Amino acid sequence: MIQDIYPKKFKNEYIVQKPKDNDFIIQFDNNCILLNKDNSFVKYHQIKEDINLYYCFSIDNDSVFLTTDLNSSLYCRLNVKELRYITPKWLAFLSVGAYQLNKWLIDNKYCGRCATLMNSSSEERAQICPNCNNVVYPKISPAIIVLIKDNDRILLTKYAHGFGRYALVAGFCEIGETLEDTIKREIFEEVGLKVKNIKYYKSQPWSFSESLLSGFVCDLDGDDKVILDTKELKEATWFTRDELPDTYDDISLTQELMRAFKYNNL
Ligand SMILES: [Zn+2]
């Protein structure tokens, strides 16, 4: 998955530091990341002017900083939808993490309580209001992805809008729910099925939706007739192992769950 970057090591301790020559300088502009003209990442030693920087995190000894001060006309653009496919994978993970923090900084530029311009804390990854002392940390929303099994079949879905490939039932936790409650509710809402034997698989930080995805496997309980929520989905189809589409990548928990089922590892 995208976060599996071994032997590289992700270091998210918030220790404000000065940039080193080889550190990454990242700026987003209208849903694109700015890259050098040769499509390489911008490094600190390539910056001639004085710019403001926000420390994000490090991978091994390479630190990542956000800025908004680059002259965007001097750089190439890559749409953020493509970030997950950047190779090597640790650069994909680095760039989506920067994307998540950039969105958080934009969303919390002003205090949600009193509309004052927020300051970045020097001690922790937090935005602080100098007027009312409101402290805002990066939002991480719990969500589930669930593979529904019926003996040799699993249920694949396609969203009504946006992402076009086959997916699994997924959704955000609502207030007052356990993960198991969310699984049962989402499955019933989206495809009208009941399930049992819910078992945890693995989790994945998913920066695009600022969520922590928890992956589960469960068994169909009773009738296999799908009742589709057409606002959310345009398709939900049972696939046998042999019929499963062979378009696997090494990025998402969804794809790993599907691959694990196809090769009898669940
Ligand atoms: Zn405030």
| Chain mean pLDDT for the chain | 95
Q: How far is the CA of 118 from the centre of ligand 1 (A)?
A: 8
Residue-wise pLDDT for 77-118, tens only, equals 999 999 999 999 999 999 999 999 999 999 999 999 999 999
Does the 141-262 domain belong in CATH 3.90.79.10? yes
In contact, 190 and 233? CB cutoff 8 Å: yes
In contact, 239 and 153? CB cutoff 8 Å: yes
Q: How far is the CA of 133 from the centre of ligand 1 (A)?
A: 6
Question: CA torsion sign, 157 to 162 to 163 to 169?
Answer: negative
Distances in whole angstroms, Cα of residue 20 to Cα of each of 2, 45, 58, 61: 26, 8, 12, 9
- Interface confidence, given as ipTM, is 0.99
Q: How far is the CA of 135 from the centre of ligand 1 (A)?
A: 9
Distances in whole angstroms, Cα of residue 90 to Cα of each of 17, 19, 44, 249: 21, 19, 19, 15
Q: What percent of the chain has pLDDT over 70?
A: 99
pLDDT score, position 161: 86
Residue spans per domain, the chain: 10-107, 141-262
In contact, 196 and 125? CB cutoff 8 Å: no
pLDDT at 247 over 70: no
Q: How far is the CA of 127 from the centre of ligand 1 (A)?
A: 10
Q: What angle do CA 164, 167, 172 make, to 5 degrees?
A: 105
From 20-34, 153-167, 194-208, the region with the lowest mean pLDDT? 153-167
pLDDT at 202 over 90: yes
Report the SS3 class of residue 205. Answer: strand
Q: How far is the CA of 112 from the centre of ligand 1 (A)?
A: 7
